[in-house]
Amino acid sequence: MTKFRTKLLIALITLIISVLVGLGILLGQLFKSYYLHSFNERLKVEKNLLSFYIEENGGVSSFKKQDVSQISDMLNVRATITDKEGKILYDSGEINDSKSNGLEQIIQDVIKKKTQQENRFEEGDGYDLHYYWKALVKNGQKEGYIFLSTKTNELNQAYGQIWWILSISLGIALVVILYLGIRITSRYTKPIEEAANVAIELAKGNYRARTSANKLDETEMLGTSINRLAMNLQELVKAQEMQQDRLTVLIENIGTGLILIDSRGYINLINKGYIDFFHVSPKQYLNKLYYEVIDEKEICQIVAEVFRTEQKVRKQLLIPLQIERKYFDVYGVPIIGSNNVWKGVLLVFHDITELKKLEQMRKDFVANVSHELKTPVTSIKGFAETLMDGAKNNQETLEAFLSIILKESERLQTLIQDLLELSKIEQQGFKLNLQRLDLDHLLEEVIALLTGKAQAKNIKIEYNNFPGQVLIKGDIDRLKQVFINLVSNSINYTPDGGSVKVVLENNRDHVRIHVLDTGVGIEKEEIPRIFERFYRVDRARSRNSGGTGLGLAIVKHLVEAHHGNIIVRSELGKGSEFIIELQNENELLDGEIIGK
């Protein structure tokens, strides 16, 4: 805005100077014309006065030279009197020879040419001369001429004074006008500058900028209008930000996964729900083609079908994620704008894993419990009927059958206890008895308990402990239950002559327990399901080992109750590795360590 004020001021100054110069020239010419006219009129009067004096005092032949000399001195002119032939009879003074020659030349021109003109102006070196003449008449006849000449130096001095006065006056006027012009331009451009600055701030997004508009003239009305515009924009932006925040909160916390794909197939948006479901990073997805970053072919097929048919598509997908398998109800919705312009595709992922699990759990529970109860009950019933039919009379048969009935009863009892235990763990009010314990000592106890079972199958069991104490906070009974279950499973599923190894690692922020075996292993597709109730990789081996199919489900729930993680790595025919991660307690609190 400084350029605007400068341009305006320069234009105003140029206009004022032009007007003042023109006015000065006009006034100078007017004064010059007026002064010249006055000068000429004075000489005419003086000429007439001298001619009248000479004619009244006897004419050319009898005038008194002394009187003419006094009058010319009083009038400050040079008076020259000639006869009618041009002979100079009297001359009150000579300037120099050149000027005298000029006067003689004028006299000869007037007499010979009989010109009607009665004045002449001649320029000379240093000064100019103005000549006036008039014929002297006596009794109606010309008897001579009177010539008056005077220097115009006074006229030039008067011209100089006039121009000097005009210059000073116009200069003062120019300074005053410039001062007033600067004040006026500042007064009227300041609101414009403020309005422009506020407009620039509004363009930058600063909607709090305001002008200081206090008056009601036109320039201040501009500032007031800018303020109203800024206020309206601020309110609109606030409303838009509130709506955007609400929409963002809704999208991020809706509880479902969202993917927005534009008409070219590039991903423009993924929400927190999708990130949490699939454990991905937004940088890997945003502004990338969907089929390049989405690994699940079923999802890509849904997107392609929506693009192809421009219709809604809904499918239920089973997607393996790490050690779990999740069910998703996937909606593919085409986005069509105004005038049927194709905008893209919106994918909505509803996690229905829990519903599927509950449904499957109900089915499996009924089927598995029926199956698990049917086998021992059938055995007990069959052997009891056989005994009642007469086999009880044979002592060896009686003892064998009663031993089988006892084994099957114990199996039923174990199954019922596991069901009750799992039900107790899954209850909402289930709490752990958290205490400080030495994990190294706890694992030593577990290895001691299961050494005999391993030796019965000629399995080498090895424990690599961490030197020193490994202190954590947990429920000693529940953790012992977890490790007994894992090591017992490794022994059960490892062929005779194999090995089981337990490794304890103490890291800075967590503790890791590895349980490795050289057993039959688990297929990759089976890993996500091994923590389900009643699920067995090898049903015959599990039943022969006395397993109920609930052990790993109990293990998973107990580890998660300790805010830990369980990881499974396995290769069919080579063995399996179960990794338990638990939080480490860096500082020992007051009190004794439980487990020592």
The closest of 302, 250, 259 to 278, measured between CA atoms, is 259
Token pair, residue 239, equals: 């409303």
- Nearest Cα neighbor of 75 from 127, 99, 39 is 39
Distance, C-alpha 295 to centroid of its chain: 33
> C-alpha distances in angstroms, 100 versus 93, 96, 107, 150?
9, 6, 10, 13
Residue 490 buriedness (CB in 10 A; 0-12 / 13-18 / 19+): buried
Instruction: Check if the beta carbon of residue 105 is closer than 8 Å to that of residue 175.
Output: no
Amino acid at 585: E
End-to-end CA distance of the chain: 83
For 269-283, letters b (16+ CB in 10 Å) and e give bbbbbbeebbeeeee
Q: Rounded to an integer, what distance in angstroms lies between the CA atom of residue 213 and that of residue 194?
A: 9
- CB-based burial label for 415 (10 Å; 0-12, 13-18, 19+): buried
The Cα 558–Cα 565 span in angstroms is 10
Round to whole Å and give the CA distance between 519 and 495.
6
Are the CB atoms for 211 and 195 separated by under 8 Å?
Answer: yes
Q: How far is CA 579 from CA 58, 278, 482, 483, 570, in A?
A: 156, 22, 12, 11, 11
DSSP string of 154-218, one letter each residue: HHHHHHHHHHHHHHHHHHHHHHHHHHHHHHHHHHHHHHHHHHHHHHHHHHHT-TT------S-SH
Contact 358, 384 (CB under 8 A): no
How far is residue 353's CA from residue 577's CA, in Å, rounded to a whole number?
26
CB 408 within 8 A of CB 376: yes
The continuous run of DSSP H or E covering 90 comes out as: strand 88-91
pLDDT at 118: 63
State how far the Cα of 534 lies from the Cα of 549, in Å rounded to an integer. Answer: 4
Each residue's pLDDT expressed in tens, for the chain with a length of 596 residues: 556 667 777 887 788 788 878 887 887 778 777 777 777 777 777 777 777 777 777 677 667 777 777 777 777 777 788 877 777 777 777 544 444 556 777 777 777 766 666 666 665 555 567 777 777 777 777 778 778 777 766 666 776 777 788 788 878 887 887 788 777 777 777 777 777 788 888 888 787 777 776 655 666 677 778 788 888 888 888 888 888 888 888 888 888 889 999 988 999 988 888 888 888 888 888 898 988 888 888 899 999 999 988 889 999 888 888 777 888 999 999 988 877 888 899 999 998 888 887 887 777 767 766 766 776 777 777 778 777 777 777 777 777 878 878 877 877 777 777 677 767 666 666 677 888 888 888 888 888 888 888 888 899 989 888 777 788 888 888 898 889 889 988 888 888 889 999 999 888 788 989 999 998 888 888 888 788 766 766 554 454 555 667 778 888 888 888 888 999 998 888 889 999 999 886 433 433 333 33
Helix (H) / strand (E) element for 418: namely helix 395-426
Per-residue pLDDT at 170: 78
**548: three-class secondary structure by DSSP:** coil
Cα separation, 548 vs 415, in Å, equals 6
- Can you say whether the dihedral through the CA atoms of 138, 140, 144, 149 is positive or negative? positive
258: amino acid identity, one letter: L
- 47, two tokens: 């000429």
Amino acid letter for position 586: N
Q: What pTM was computed for the model?
A: 0.40
